[in-house]
Amino acid sequence: MIDDACSRREFLKKFATLSGGALMLSATSIACSGLPKTALPSLIGIFFYDGDMQRVELRDNQTVPVHTQFDFVFSTDMNTDLHLTSYRTGVTFVDSNNNPIDFSIGWVNARTLHLTPSADLSFNTDYIFTVYKAEDKVGNPLNDYADASAAFKTTSI
């Protein structure tokens, strides 16, 4: 995973910085950006839409409006033919009591997956997303060493 071009110390420094927030993006991709382009795909960003429908990066466990949508951005072109609700791949979206949240998803382009909750989220509630088992265009699975989840809380009225 880590070679001479990417020291263990640099990786750990980047990982510690990223893990301070609820969203840990691909520490290996960020810390080891000099690695060959054949690296496994990673989730490199999660965004929500604010009240003005402006796309905002979701990080540091910030609050999110109850009426919103989300974008998941990947490091490489993904296999958009796979349905991310099938047994092979998936996205989970749950509240703090592990109750599933209904949603619909669709690909905006080969690197961006769009998620729309079926109803407004509850006020002042914690939520978590997890993306797992998605594949890139050539069948490589998501990087196991990169976190593909995010936690956030909705606004309090």
Q: CATH number of the domain that 58 lies in?
A: 2.60.40.1220
Q: Which two tokens stand for residue 76?
A: 């490489």
End-to-end CA distance of the chain: 45
> Is residue 96, in this structure, part of any structural domain at all?
yes
**Does some domain include residue 36?**
no
pTM here? Answer: 0.71
Hey, what are 115's tokens? Answer: 């998620």
Considering the domain boundaries, does residue 19 fall inside one?
A: no
Residue 32 in domain: no
**CA–CA separation, 10 vs 31, rounded Å?**
6
**Per residue in 13-65, pLDDT tens?**
454 444 444 444 444 444 445 444 558 999 899 999 998 999 999 987 679 99
The answer to whether residue 31 sits within a structural domain is: no
Domain assignment present for 119:
yes
How many domains does the chain divide into? 1
Give per-residue pLDDT as tens, 91-131.
889 999 999 999 998 899 999 999 999 999 999 999 998 88
Domain that holds residue 122: 41-154
- 140 belongs to a structural domain: yes
Model pLDDT for residues 85-95, shown as the tens digit of each residue:
544 457 889 99
